[in-house]
Amino acid sequence: MKESSLEANGVPELVCVPGLGLDDRSWTRVRRRSGGVVVRLPGMGERAPVGSLSELTDQLVAALGPGPVVLAGHSQSCQVVVAAAERDPRVVGLLLLGPTTDPRLRRTRVLAGRWLRTALCEQWWHAPLIVRQWLRTGPPAMTRLWQRTSPDRVDERLRRVQVPVLVVRGARDALCAHDWAVHLAACAPRGRLVELPGAAHMLPITRPDAVAALARELTGRRAT
């Protein structure tokens, strides 16, 4: 990632990491409003072998520029950005959208039920864009990413993260339930929960204005 003029002046760069199976297109509308760059990783926009959580974190850290960054994760990628913040001093803030993985979702029956409930609450007209991204990344990489990251205790990692953390969930998101989001925000020493009424899980796509405003809050940038 190249150093921007804002980074050179000490203003944090917004670095967005797509959720499971998604790619750059999931962040397009947010970035139009808040700036920033996207880093794709295996299973998160890249059709490539998915390594361990530690290896995914290494790839993310290696892609960062020299200046301060705010990392924005969505769904499964929240676990990677939290792991990066835990060990890299360049990370000065975290924006976690619909963060996973609630331990209850490791049971297949519970996951399937919560996924269906959430899918029914999404804005259906975004479905073609989402499906195209899933097909680009590919089911094998998506499955492997889930297997690699879902056992991670992101809540325990957050206890060791000292930067500001915004946990954001849609009020109709069953994949990131209210009590799970409350728990994560409480685990972070400088955590705060924001809930978006009427929204479900695909927040970067369906709520770009709200997400961009929260990103600007963390980076200190003006609206673009």
What pLDDT is recorded for position 221?
72
Contacts of 70 (CB under 8 A, 6+ apart): 12, 13, 14, 15, 91, 92, 93, 94, 95, 215, 218, 219
Distances in whole angstroms, Cα of residue 163 to Cα of each of 17, 63, 95: 18, 20, 11
pLDDT confidence bin for 223, thresholds 50/70/90: low
CATH of 5-219, one of 3.30.450.20, 3.55.10.10, 3.40.50.1820, 3.30.200.20: 3.40.50.1820
Higher pLDDT, 182 or 123: 182
Confirm if 161 and 86 have CB atoms less than 8 A apart.
yes
pLDDT, one tens digit per residue, over 153-194 is 999 999 999 999 999 999 999 999 999 999 999 999 999 999
- pLDDT tens digits along 52-72: 999 999 999 999 999 999 999
Q: Going by C-beta distance under 8 Å and a sequence separation of 6 or more, which residues neighbour residue 73?
A: 17, 19, 79, 80, 81, 82, 94, 95, 96, 97, 99
Is the pLDDT reported for residue 8 higher than 50?
A: no
- For the chain, the distance separating the N- and C-terminal CA atoms, rounded to the nearest angstrom, is 20
pLDDT of 11 = 84
Over pLDDT 90: what percentage of the chain?
90
User: Could you tell me the residue ranges of all domains in the chain?
Assistant: 5-219
